[in-house]
A and B are shown apart, each in its own frame.
Chain A
Amino acid sequence: MRFMMIVKANERSEAGLPPDPRLMAAVQKHAEEQIKAGVLLDTGGLAPSSQGARIIARGGKLTKVDGPFPETKELIGGYAVLQARSKEEAIEHGLRFMRLHQELIPGWEGEMEVRQIFGPENPHGSK
């Protein structure tokens, strides 16, 4: 099974600033471990929403709205695609990723969404 780990944006990422160097090093080490375990398939960080745009379909029309977008904590800051044997396993990976942030930066706040990607074992329409 495949999961997308969606990390929400924060003020720093929206300002286009790189993460704290210690945090960056820890995140990199974590990613390397996951690569060595053969579970990390893909990962990437998103540029701030100020460099992006939205395309909205409404009332039969398409409108383009340029960034930045105000609701920082709802935006996506980065993602990872993982292979896991179960939802619980994916969640455990997510807990570890978020925990390393908290351990390095006391009081750190953030959010991650863990979502299964449709695949042969859970095709569209299955529960």
Chain B
Amino acid sequence: MAASEAHRAIDAVFRLEWAKLVAGLTRYVRDVGAAEELAQDALLAALEQWPASGIPTHPGAWLMAAAKHRAINRWRHARVVERKHAEIGRELDAADAPDPEAAIDDEVGDDLLRLVFIACHPVLAIEARVALTLRLLGGLTTEEIARAFLVSEPTVAQRIVRAKRALADAAVPFEVPRGAELAERLSGVLGVIYLIFNEGYAATAGDDWMRPALCEDALRLGRMVAALVSDEPEAHGLVALMELHASRAAARTGPAGEPILLLDQDRARWDRLLIHRGLAALGRAEELGGAGGRYALQAAISACHARAATPADTDWARIAELYGTLARLAPSPVVELNRAVAVAMAHGPAAGLELVDALRSEPSLQSYHLLPSARADFLMKLGRYDEARAELERAASLTRNAREREMLLERAAACARASET
């Protein structure tokens, strides 16, 4: 095997083992920062030894043993007072002793889940949660995180160092929150994963490949969390939403990188496997009584599109209803705008126009180009071409996307022609 090939194979093994290794080591040393350093040391040991010895049959166990060995050596070398030394010794013995409960529980899974809750802990700023989650659970390097988020590597490294310090200062325990706290903390975890997904989804043609790859990382993390807290409907709701959105990835842009709107997409390019998985995850969320959850509702809307063979088959009345429920749960002018579009599709442009007109004074939508663009759409369908043209020109002046501006101006010109005839 060529050196680089061996190196890549070792790297692949390491990525597969990384999260479990960091989680197990965090349980052992009770400090995420120290755990990550030990895991890193184990990687260096592997890179030294595996090219000659070959990759061990059970690399996970090898790496864990190597890291624990380092941990013990560090403690021995550190000039700790005798009492402290004895205390650590006792802790180590306790950590190694078979735990009767652990035999029943999925110990590795529990450790991973504890690590998820630490990485997404509310004492951390949101960027720190994202970076730490990708580093500790996603196995991304600081360089990869920097490339994916279009920031410099030292910035990411600094965020991670500060985050680890903040966790140590706050003495954040290595545990899964219980009771009422669980719901709130889980919602924070899901928010971090969705943010990672959306960062990848927002990537455009010509971006570094690391950016769209974030969608796959987020999906992997979301599925992992949903499997670990399998009774929590919103975790499945988020997975459903991400799988369904990801299923349209290939159809979202044209050959020149121009965005293609949902209804204009070639549905043959939608990914059937991801749609199937998304619908299944949505089904689980609903079975668990979570149909009214924030992510499950959005997934249900996405599912209406996924189930429709052609745009004309779309169940717009159901989508309008789902947006209504979503608007009551998390009121937002953008959700209301989407509801107006669905209502117009289900009940005609006049009904949609009435809803968007109510949004025209909404301050947060003043520079949102999709509002005049939706309004123009309804006006056109009602034959009010002059008003539609004015709205399209307004939308064109608001969008930052050059391709979109072109499309809006083309439609405005078409309105002008229609108005003359």
- Residues of A participating in the B interface, judged by any CB pair closer than 8 Å: 1, 35-39, 41-42, 81, 83, 85-86, 88-89, 91-93, 99, 119-121
Contacts and interface: CB of A to CB of B under 8 A. Distances in A.
B107 to A, nearest CB: 13
B213 A41 contact: no
B322 to A, nearest CB: 27
Given A37-B220, A41-B273, A42-B273, A92 B9 contact: yes
A88 B220 contact: no
A112 to B, nearest CB: 16
B227 A35 contact: yes
Contacts of A36: 109, 224, 227-228
Contacts of B24: none
Chain B contact residues: helix, strand, loop or mixed: helix
Interface of B: 8-9, 11-13, 15-16, 57, 109, 209, 212-213, 216, 219-224, 227-228, 249-250, 273, 277
17 contacts: A1-B216, A36-B228, A37-B16, A37-B220, A37-B224, A38-B219, A39-B220, A42-B273, A85-B12, A85-B216, A86-B8, A88-B11, A91-B9, A92-B16, A120-B249, A120-B250, A121-B212
A83 B220 contact: yes
A99 B223 CA distance: 25
Nearest to A41: B273
Nearest to A84: B12
A92 B9 CA distance: 8
* Max count, chain A CB within 10 A of own CB: residue among B8, B219, B223, B224: B223
Contacts of A38: 219-224, 227
B273 A85 contact: no
Nearest to A83: B216
Given A35-B227, A86-B8, A99-B57, A92 B222 contact: no
B219 A83 contact: yes
A35 B228 CA distance: 10
